[in-house]
């Protein structure tokens, strides 16, 4: 009888032990959640960019990490890092730099129907390795008391002797000027571009120097009658907290050259997908977000850049400058002709 009771107790204990070793049916399974992120190497330095990154984070849960530096420094960094680079996107101004990144083998193609629908073919790489995010026009800022709008026609006309001592510009080391000359090479040929660069250099009121804002200030101060500048710089000046900048901006008017021909030279800021992107899908999602109508409107209103998405509108200030015909040149030409442009500038002593 005692053995029977002992055996029954043993069976009961084993049964309980077996049940306790099995996981409860309602116990949650353990999951490992990877941090979702996208890493950007950016040459852009605008508040609106950070605001949009934060909105993307909030709506997707994908954290945006940004490393800022000069464009050429970022390209060198990507080259040195190679396959170990954490970067997913490189974001910079000027198509010339984006083409340079592609030529160095730093980018890979992007597959996105949304991006292709929103960004025109001439504003993106033929293999879709980079896309424009915003557009700027390189125009004339002139003083209306010393220049009549009737005098203004084309970039080519600046080579005429009637502009002797009246023009100013930044140096030839600036990528904006290199791309302008590259567009002239593409449209008019290298021989004509060489003659143009030499004649415009001879027509300058001073040696090339300073940034685009400095050109506007010099025209306002009477040092020259006309400067070659990007539109968004004047937008920034007119809305600056610095009174001197606002007054300088208010003293000039803008003219969009070549309206009866190929159209005004445009350039872009844009972004490319790095060759070794560790977060490719997240990077493409971010580019699609930045080219959405809502994000494009933010770029336009906050930074006075023209949107690439046709559904978005230019800011009220840019609209006040009027519609203009744009040069439809595929912007890869700016990069392909960059080396020749630098060579021509050197021959023209355009420092």
pLDDT at position 268 over 90: yes
pTM for the predicted model, two decimal places: 0.88
Residue 15, pLDDT score: 41
CATH architecture of 136-264+335-347: 3-Layer(aba) Sandwich (3.40)
Q: pLDDT digits over 106-151, tens only?
A: 999 999 999 999 999 999 999 999 999 999 999 999 999 999 999 9
CA–CA dist 183, 335 (Å, integer): 10
Q: pLDDT digits over 41-92, tens only?
A: 999 999 999 999 999 999 999 999 999 999 999 999 999 999 999 999 999 9
Residue 34, pLDDT score: 64
pLDDT at position 229 over 70: yes
Q: What's the rounded mean pLDDT across residues 3-29?
A: 40
pLDDT at position 27 over 50: no
pLDDT at position 331 over 50: yes
- Work out the percent of the chain whose per-residue pLDDT is above 90: 89
Q: Across the chain, what does the average pLDDT equal?
A: 92
Locate 164 and state its tokens. 């002797």
Q: pLDDT digits over 183-195, tens only?
A: 999 999 999 999 9
CA–CA dist 143, 252 (Å, integer): 5
Residue 266, pLDDT score: 98
| Cα–chain center distance at 209 | 23
List all residues 6 or more positions away from 280 whose beta carbon is below 8 Å from its beta carbon: 88, 273
- Give start-end residues of each CATH 3.40.190.10 domain in the chain: 38-135+267-319, 136-264+335-347
Residue 35, pLDDT score: 76
Q: How do strand 253-255 and strand 306-307 relate by DSSP bridges?
A: unpaired
pLDDT at position 273 over 80: yes
Closest CA to 347 of 149, 122, 195, 158: 195
Q: How many CB atoms lie within 10 A of CB 297?
A: 17
Pick the CATH number of 38-135+267-319 from 3.40.50.300, 3.30.465.10, 3.40.190.10, 3.20.20.10: 3.40.190.10
């Amino acid at each position: 009888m005692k053995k029977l009771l002992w055996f029954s107790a043993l069976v009961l204990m084993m049964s309980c032990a077996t049940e306790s070793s099995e996981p409860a049916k309602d116990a949650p399974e353990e999951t490992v959640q990877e941090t979702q992120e996208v890493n950007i190497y950016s040459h852009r330095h605008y508040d609106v960019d950070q605001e949009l990154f934060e909105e993307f984070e909030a709506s997707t849960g994908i954290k945006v990490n940004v490393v800022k530096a000069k464009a050429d420094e970022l390209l060198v960094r990507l080259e040195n890092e190679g396959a170990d680079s954490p970067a997913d996107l490189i974001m910079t101004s000027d198509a010339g730099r984006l083409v340079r990144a592609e030529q160095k083998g730093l980018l890979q193609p992007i597959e996105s129907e949304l991006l292709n629908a929103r960004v025109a073919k001439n504003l993106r790489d033929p293999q879709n390795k980079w896309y424009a995010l915003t557009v700027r026009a390189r125009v004339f800022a002139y003083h209306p008391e010393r220049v009549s709008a009737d005098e203004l026609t084309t970039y080519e006309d600046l080579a005429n002797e009637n502009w002797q001592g009246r023009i100013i510009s930044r140096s030839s080391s600036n990528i904006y000027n290199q791309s302008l000359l590259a567009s002239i090479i593409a449209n008019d040929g290298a021989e004509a571009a060489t003659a143009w660069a030499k004649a415009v250099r001879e027509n300058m009121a001073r040696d090339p120097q300073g940034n685009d804002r400095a050109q506007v200030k010099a025209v306002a101060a009477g040092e020259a009658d006309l400067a070659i500048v990007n539109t968004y710089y004047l937008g920034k000046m007119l809305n600056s907290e610095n009174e001197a900048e606002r007054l300088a901006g208010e003293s000039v008017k803008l003219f969009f050259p070549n309206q009866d021909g190929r159209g005004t030279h445009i350039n872009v800021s844009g972004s490319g997908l790095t060759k070794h992107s560790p977060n490719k899908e997240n990077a493409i999602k971010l580019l699609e977000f930045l080219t959405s109508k809502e994000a494009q409107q933010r770029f336009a209103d906050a930074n006075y850049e023209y949107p690439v998405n046709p559904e978005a509108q230019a800011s009220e200030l840019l609209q006040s400058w009027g519609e203009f015909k744009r040069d439809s040149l595929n912007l890869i030409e700016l990069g392909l002709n960059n080396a020749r442009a630098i060579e021509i500038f050197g021959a023209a002593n355009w420092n």
